[in-house]
């Protein structure tokens, strides 16, 4: 068993199931959340009924209500909060943390209202004396299926290979597999692209109601993902990893994905305002990713037909007929 203290900041669906996974290998897994009632209820019952239908979590997950006590002696801190709350979490760490830690983020892509990745924002805002390493976990992994013990695989990328190896050991179980890939920025951009294309996948499904068309779209999206990585100077083959193609398959084919649901809702009701409002209050990272990716590509004078079209339809109210031309273009 691993004895190092691992703290999860945020106890939502994904953070809670990862804490449960880590508790198979680690004696010292702790959780903290701003919602004290949720923590108290969990401490007494070991269930999160609003999320997982009374699935009972493992007993060796420690609940800590005081933030300073929670971060004390932590070697690894998992930021399991939505990307829009990352800056608040970093502010709390700057006030309460007094030693170097290894940060692991489950949020990938870009922080809302900025053009920064979670990695860049953390590096820029967390005090230098607190920065040990930064890593990101990403891959096709719906929380409910993890808690049900379904076989699941994800990628981790770290700016410290040795820490990346340790993270693989922390989270790998008989049902949960973690593979390290070498470049953290490539993983982050795969996550951002996947989120954007998942919005498009929901939109395409609503517009055409055809599995054939959805498959055609996903194939085009995967090829465009490789193209975008290439023009940004990254390795396009990373798109074939779990954080790329794997995650695109999962989030681009089911309403379990918030990004897919947002695209489907827009395709059904044509209400961009409602979708944008929802993206500010819940985790619809794909909406913001479309905007940021469009800006990045435009600065480089590069084109990505699907990203460009999603931007035109969602942000400029262009007719959705433009997708037909993209999908049949060789």
DSSP output for 199-226 = HHHHHHHHHH--HHHHHHHHHHHHHHHH
Provide the whole-model pTM.
Answer: 0.93
Q: Which of 182, 209, 233 is the last residue of a domain?
A: 182
My answer on whether 307 and 254 are in the same domain is yes
Q: How many CB atoms lie within 10 A of CB 70?
A: 23
The residues with which 110 forms a beta bridge, in sequence order, are: 117
Percent of the residues in the chain that have a pLDDT greater than 70, as a whole number: 95
- Is 311 a residue whose pLDDT tops 60? yes
My answer on whether 175 and 247 are in the same domain is no
- Is 280 a residue whose pLDDT tops 60? no
The mean of the pLDDT values for the chain is 92
Of 270, 313, 271, 267, nearest to 290 by C-alpha is: 313
Assess if residue 288 is contained within a domain.
yes
My answer on whether 78 and 193 are in the same domain is no
My answer on whether 192 and 274 are in the same domain is yes
My answer on whether 142 and 235 are in the same domain is no
Assess if residue 1 is contained within a domain.
no
Assigned token pair, 198: 């998942």
Residues of the domain holding 100: 6-182
The residue-averaged pLDDT of 98-116 equals 89
Q: What's the CA gap between 29 and 5, in Å, rounded? A: 6
The residue-averaged pLDDT of 268-282 equals 61
Q: Which of 136, 152, 182 is the last residue of a domain?
A: 182
Q: Which of 182, 209, 232 is the last residue of a domain?
A: 182
My answer on whether 176 and 189 are in the same domain is no
My answer on whether 209 and 293 are in the same domain is yes
Assess if residue 259 is contained within a domain.
yes
Assess if residue 296 is contained within a domain.
yes
Residues 6+ apart with CB under 8 A from 207: 267, 320, 323
Q: What's the CA gap between 164 and 82, in Å, rounded? A: 22
Q: Are 86 and 114 in contact (CB under 8 A)?
A: no
Q: What's the CA gap between 69 and 36, in Å, rounded? A: 14
Q: What's the CA gap between 8 and 22, in Å, rounded? A: 10
My answer on whether 45 and 146 are in the same domain is yes
Q: What's the CA gap between 105 and 76, in Å, rounded? A: 10
CATH number at residue 132: 3.40.50.720
The residue-averaged pLDDT of 75-85 equals 91
Assess if residue 308 is contained within a domain.
yes
CATH number at residue 202: 1.10.1040.10
The tally of domains found in the chain comes to 2
Q: Output the pLDDT for position 53.
A: 83
My answer on whether 178 and 192 are in the same domain is no
My answer on whether 203 and 269 are in the same domain is yes
- Is 275 a residue whose pLDDT tops 90? no
What sign for the dihedral angle of Cα 34, 69, 46, 141?
A: positive
The string of pLDDT tens digits covering residues 207-222 is 999 999 999 999 999 9
Q: What's the CA gap between 323 and 260, in Å, rounded? A: 16
Do the bridges between strand 152-158 and strand 61-63 make them parallel or antiparallel, or are there none, so unpaired?
unpaired
Q: Output the pLDDT for position 281.
A: 53
My answer on whether 30 and 121 are in the same domain is yes
Q: What's the CA gap between 149 and 221, in Å, rounded? A: 30
User: Across the beta sheet with 152-158, what order do the strands follow?
Assistant: 61-63, 29-32, 6-9, 76-79, 101-105, 131-138, 152-158, 176-181
Assess if residue 287 is contained within a domain.
yes
My answer on whether 284 and 215 are in the same domain is yes
Q: Output the pLDDT for position 108.
A: 79
């Amino acid at each position: 068993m691993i004895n190092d203290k691992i703290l999860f900041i945020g106890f939502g669906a994904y953070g809670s199931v990862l804490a449960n996974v880590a508790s198979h290998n680690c004696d010292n897994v702790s959780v903290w959340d701003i919602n004290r009632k949720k923590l108290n209820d969990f401490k007494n019952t070991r269930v999160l009924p609003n999320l997982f239908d009374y699935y009972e979590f493992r007993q060796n997950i420690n609940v800590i209500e005081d933030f300073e006590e929670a971060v004390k002696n932590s070697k690894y801190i998992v930021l399991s909060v939505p990307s829009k709350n990352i800056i608040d979490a970093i502010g709390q760490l700057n006030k309460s943390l007094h030693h170097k830690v290894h940060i692991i983020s489950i949020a990938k892509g870009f922080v809302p209202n900025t053009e920064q990745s979670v990695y860049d924002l953390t590096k820029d805002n967390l005090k230098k004396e607190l920065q040990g390493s930064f890593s990101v976990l990403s891959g096709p992994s719906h929380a409910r299926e993890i808690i049900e013990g379904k076989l699941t695989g994800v990628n981790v990328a770290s700016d410290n290979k040795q820490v990346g190896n340790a993270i693989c050991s922390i989270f790998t179980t008989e049902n949960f597999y973690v593979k390290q890939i070498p470049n953290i920025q490539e993983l982050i951009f795969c996550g951002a692209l996947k989120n954007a294309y998942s919005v498009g996948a929901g939109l395409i499904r609503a517009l055409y109601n055809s599995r054939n068309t959805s498959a055609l779209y996903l194939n085009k999206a995967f090829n465009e993902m490789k193209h975008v990585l290439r023009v940004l100077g990254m390795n396009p083959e990373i798109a074939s990893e779990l954080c790329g193609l794997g995650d695109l398959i999962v989030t681009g084919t089911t309403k379990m994905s918030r990004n897919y649901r947002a695209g489907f809702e827009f395709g059904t009701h044509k209400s961009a305002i409602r979708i944008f409002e929802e993206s500010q209050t819940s985790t619809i990272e794909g909406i913001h990713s479309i905007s940021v990716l469009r800006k990045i590509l435009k600065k480089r004078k590069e084109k990505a037909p699907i990203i460009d079209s999603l931007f035109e339809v969602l942000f400029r109210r262009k007719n959705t007929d433009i997708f037909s031309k993209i999908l049949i273009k060789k």
